[in-house]
Amino acid sequence: PSHPLIVHLADAEQLGDWVADVPATARLLAERFWPGPLTLVLRRGRRVPLETTGGLETVAVRVPAHPVALALLAAFGGGIAAPSANRFGSVSPTTAGHVRAELGDAVDVVLDGGPCQVGVESTIVDATGETLSILRPGGVTREDLETALGRPLAVPATSHIRVPGQHPSHYAPRARVVLVEPDKVIAEAERAQESGHRVGVLLPPAFADAEVKAHAVVALPASMPAYARELYAFLRELDQRGCDLIIASPPGEQGLGAAIANRLRRAAGPRPAA
């Protein structure tokens, strides 16, 4: 009841049906980055129910770039309020196989448009006023947004606006995630393995040639777009290989690294009590 959903639209021209007003800065970002992985938070229109917004007077909207998603939205003719196709708080799916593996017969149809091209979720921007801020880093980088706007964007540590994916523990695999500095990944993994854990390692590119005594090792790509695209698949793979602990290191906060680091920190967050 307190978790907002994103309303997906086929075209920016539909914005007026779902929001109370569209500030000039929000329209500029929509023109520049839609269709694409950018979500704008605006004041909700009267037809948007509070069940969609988690009780907030704001609504999150975006126009996805995938042709199958756009065709579905165009055929439907309205907005579709929906989360990622996974159980709440767990790792987001990036293939139809991930969806079926997690949801099973709970859904009748999985519409397969191929693997996700971006991987991490959309960037969420609070565009309710003249001072814009990033509420969740994602597929559109802070640098690209600032270039389009011609001014810096704030990235507040907290916000009165709740948005998807910002619970203390989110994007989490079954295995517990522990984050350390890049040069400590191997030592921490081997220490945990020796203490009886089945350790999975997300091995930074700088140590790709190193031998690691662990249950499973995934060598990370040097490319940030490739890392963002495969992050959730890597976490799912380590779960499937029976790991109970994952050792990783957040990348730098530049470009897509900010989105990857955000997802890893959430994955490593405190788990709710059973």
Question: Using one digit for the tens of pLDDT, what is the confidence trace for 51-71?
Answer: 999 999 999 999 999 999 999
Strands (E), 78-195: 80-82, 123-126, 133-136, 176-179
Parallel/antiparallel/unpaired status of strands 38-43 and 58-62: antiparallel
174 is in an annotated binding site: no
For position 168, what pLDDT does the model report? 61
Q: Choose the final residue of a domain: 100, 134, 149.
A: 149
CATH code for the domain of 246: 3.40.50.11030
Both 144 and 15 in one domain: the answer is yes
Residue 203 within any structural domain of the chain: yes
82 is in an annotated binding site: yes
Q: 241-252: b or e for each residue (b if 16 or more CB lie within 10 Å)?
A: eebbbbbbbbbe
Structural domain including 135 reads 6-84+121-149
Burial of 76 (0-12, 13-18, 19+ CB in 10 A): exposed
For position 170, what pLDDT does the model report? 74
Both 140 and 214 in one domain: the answer is no
Residue 116 within any structural domain of the chain: no
Instruction: Report the C-alpha gap between 233 and 248 in whole angstroms.
Output: 14
Both 203 and 140 in one domain: the answer is no
92 is in an annotated binding site: yes
Residue 109 within any structural domain of the chain: no
> Using an 8 Å Cβ cutoff, are 60 and 37 in contact?
no
> Using an 8 Å Cβ cutoff, are 88 and 45 in contact?
no
For 35, the token pair is 């269709």
Both 68 and 183 in one domain: the answer is no
Side-chain-side CA neighbours of residue 122 (13 Å) = 27
> Using an 8 Å Cβ cutoff, are 82 and 27 in contact?
no
Instruction: Report the C-alpha gap between 110 and 132 in whole angstroms.
Output: 36
For position 233, what pLDDT does the model report? 97
Residue 108 within any structural domain of the chain: no
122 is in an annotated binding site: yes
Instruction: Report the C-alpha gap between 105 and 25 in whole angstroms.
Output: 43
Residue 128 within any structural domain of the chain: yes
Both 140 and 235 in one domain: the answer is no
Residue 165 within any structural domain of the chain: no
SS3 226: helix
Which residue ranges in the chain fall short of pLDDT 50? none
Side-chain-side CA neighbours of residue 183 (13 Å) = 0
136 is in an annotated binding site: yes
Instruction: Report the C-alpha gap between 142 and 270 in whole angstroms.
Output: 27
8 is in an annotated binding site: yes
CATH code for the domain of 143: 3.90.870.10
Predicted TM-score (pTM) of this structure: 0.93
62 is in an annotated binding site: yes
Both 204 and 140 in one domain: the answer is no
